[in-house]
Amino acid sequence: MNIKNGPKNFKMLAAHWTTGSLEQGIHILGITAIEDRLQDGVPETIKLLRKAGINVWMLTGDKQTTAIQIGLLCNLITPESKGQLLSINGKTEDDILQSLERALTIMKTALERKDLAFVLDGWALEIILKRSLESFTKLAMMSRTAICCRMTPLQKAQLVGILKSSGSLTLAIGDGGNDVRMIQEANVGVGISGREGLQAARAADYSIGKFKFLRRLILVHGRYSYNRTAFISQYSFYKSLLICFIQILFSFSSGLSGTSIFNSISLMAYNVFYTSLPVMTIIFDKDISEATVLRYPQILLYSQAGRLLNRSTFAEWFGRSLYHGICCFPNYHQRIC
């Protein structure tokens, strides 16, 4: 017999026995209680993620009052902002749509108030997705925090898909089998392996043991991975363009004969030996320490803005390869002549 919340529900069960609403004469051999509480470090992790400019949504199957209490406990919403929750509900479909438009109007006129959040349930979401998807998408893009309760696994995946189709990069994290579809729909899926089983962890891109490990996964390893990927991708173009520009300049000196300025051994050694060292050393490159990143999570905003990999940085690498090709060509040409 599994009884959640232990003694409290046991007293209710005993009351039912005394009134005769359940079977009589049962001898209880044992009672176990299921522990249902937040993991250690959840509020601190969410606080760091919010400082890093990451919008955090909670998609849960619990009822609305329980979901709001969980949001307060994990720092998803503050006690001050609890009274500013924009509730999207109603008894009829028209009431729900009017509530959505009212919440959208409030959000538009109060963009400077970062603590605004909205809450809705699965029934309201089903109506909104059918009749007012565009308005809900606008509200979702302006909201930093949302609490969605009474969600089915399909609705969780639909919400992630809406944000994903709107141009946002999404990360979904869950620990149960009902989170699998949401995890697979997101750009990055993270599964927590624990008491809920391994279904979410097996379906995810990354598996962690506790929610608090998410801070290192995003702030530390995610940032380092972005920096290294930005360098390696542009460096690969640079080293290939460099040798091409030298060959192009030589073609004008050789009368466009198609003769190569390099021998086959040099071309093979170029990618295998000469230009492989930067790729190998970049694995150990850390511009700032891990402790600094965790202490100042706002550093992640620089990476979110795409400062290291965009059109201007690619143009800089392109110009650098052309300049170096022009500088290197006279040496090669002089040796051949």
| pLDDT above 70: residue 8 | no
Residue with tokens 């565009």: 134
Give the pLDDT mean for 125-149. 89
> Phi-psi region for residue 80, left (φ > 0), alpha (ψ -120 to 50) or beta?
alpha
Q: What is the pLDDT of residue 1?
A: 41
Instruction: Find residue 125's DSSP bridge partners.
Output: none
Instruction: Give 296's pLDDT tier (boundaries 50, 70, 90).
Output: very high
Residue range 85-116, pLDDT digits in tens: 888 988 888 999 999 999 888 888 875 555 68
Q: What's the whole-number mean pLDDT along residues 129-156?
A: 90
pLDDT over 50 (residue 2): no
Distance from C-alpha of 60 to C-alpha of 68, rounded to nearest angstrom: 11
Residues 58-88 have pLDDT tens digits of 998 888 888 888 888 888 887 766 667 888 9
Task: Collect all residues with Cβ–Cβ distance below 8 Å to 261 and sequence separation of at least 6.
Answer: 246, 247, 250, 332, 333, 336
**Of 94-98, 255-259, 303-307, minimum mean pLDDT range:** 255-259
Which domains does the chain carry? 1-35 (no CATH), 37-41+55-151 (3.40.50), 154-209 (3.40.50.1000), 218-336 (no CATH)
- CA geometry: angle at 121 spanning 84 and 124, to 5°? 105
Whether the model clears a pTM of 0.75, i.e. scores above it, the answer is yes
Q: pLDDT tens, 31-45?
A: 766 666 778 889 899
Mean pLDDT rounded to a whole number for the chain: 82
CA nearest neighbour of 138 among 118, 112, 113, 115: 118
